[in-house]
Amino acid sequence: MTFINYAVREINCKIVYYGPGLGGKTTNLQYIYDRTNTSSRGKLISLATETERTLFFDFLPLELGEIRGFKARFHLYTVPGQVFYDASRKLILRGVDGIIFVADSQESRMEANAESIRNLDKNLSEQGYDIATTPYVLQLNKRDLPTAVAVDEMYRRLNIKGEPTFEATATTGAGVFDTLKAAARLVLADLKRK
Amino acid sequence: MMPQDLVLYEEQFEKIRQALQRLLEDANARLVFLVDKNGQQIAAVGDMTSLDTTSLASLTAGNVAATDGLARLIGEKEFSILFHEGASDNIHISIVARRVILVVIFDERASLGLVRLRVRRATAELETVFEEIARKVESESLSLAAEPEAPFSEITDEDIDRLFSE
């Protein structure tokens, strides 16, 4: 749900990082926070447990510049990945404009990835969204691990609609901004379509 | 049905600001702001120098969303008012027109009773503005083709590239 404010000429969009627990959603946000000029980003808020597992959400506001005379502001959120936090995940999806699915490349996490995509689909439809028409980007994270499943194989298992797909290693930042840019592009293109 | 985008025009924005400003003065508050239930700040008035209003907006929405969830779990429709009491500053949170959140931050210069009283009046005022917005959005979506101010229909790939050029 984009918020367009004509009075102060701003558009505000919400992008949510979704995916299974320990997949690197928070690490994506942390990297963006570390590498963005202080003038174009706000504070990174993390509601996490003492062991740094996301409890409710992480939040990072970004200001990317101007588009057609409007300030483009993106609010990035992560959801808690652990299965039992489903109630929180639903709340964070409210008003979402675009989704980045962070998949874990390890073989042992393939079922968790698939389960999380099913969960996303279900939670989106409960909010009145259709995953087929919602801007959506797939990130294959942890490409640096020796147990990483081949990209083709992951794409075959996880791709749902030919979405833009990026390889990433969020700990080093590889692929992090490419993924974000692709999502922002889809969200803005969607705005144009409306 | 896809959730509707929130579109705010100058005239309604000004009315909202005026209502918030009046509430700020009448309640002796430090800061008054209005947030969409999804965490987007709509307007804020008062002492904003020491506070990160973007983070406040996002956390307030998260707080209200979690409390709504709690309410439904125990069979309530919603908790319409939340109040957080601190050693010197307090936060009063209430829902306006079912979709936006009114937040008042106040210290010892005000009292909870006064804030509640003034919030009630401001809520009525704000609800009128939001009804106006809903009507305007509805009538504009009927005449969508004639929409003169839809700058985003013109967005090009170059515009988007430029955003990421730095």
pLDDT in tens, B63-106: 998 998 899 889 998 888 999 999 999 999 999 988 899 999 99
Cβ within 8 Å, pair A65-B42:
no
pLDDT in tens, A47-58: 888 888 888 899
ipTM exceeds 0.90: no
Maximum Cα–Cα distance across chain A: 52
pLDDT bracket for residue B148 (50, 70, 90): very low
Of A1, A64, A88, the CB nearest to B38: A1
Mean of pLDDT values over A152-167: 97
Give the Cα separation of B80 and B71 in Å (integer).
10
When pLDDT is averaged across residues B158-163 and rounded to a whole number, the result is 80
CA distance A144 to chain B (A): 26
- Measured distance CA(A103)–CA(A119) in Å, rounded: 13
Distance of CA B138 to the CA centre of its chain: 20
Spell out which residues of chain B touch residue A98, defining contact as CB-CB under 8 Å. Answer: none
Reported as a single tens digit per residue, the pLDDT across B41-67 is 999 999 888 888 888 999 999 999 899
How many helices (H) and strands (E) chain B has is answered by 4, 6
Residues 75-114 of A with CB under 8 A from B: 75, 87-88, 91-92, 94-95
Best of B18, B56, B58 to substitute, by most chain A Cβ atoms within 10 angstroms, is B58
Residue B28 corresponds to which tokens in the numbers above?
């002796």
Split at pLDDT 50, 70, 90, the class of B147 is very low
Q: Which residue of B has its CA nearest to A88?
A: B66
- B83: tokens are 């109040």
**Global pTM value:** 0.87
pLDDT bin (cut points 50, 70, 90) of residue B162 is: confident
The residue among A116 and B40 whose pLDDT is bigger is A116
pLDDT of residue B69: 87
Q: Among partner residues B5, B65, B69, which is closest to A2 by beta-carbon distance? A: B5
**Chain A contact for B1, CB < 8 A?**
yes
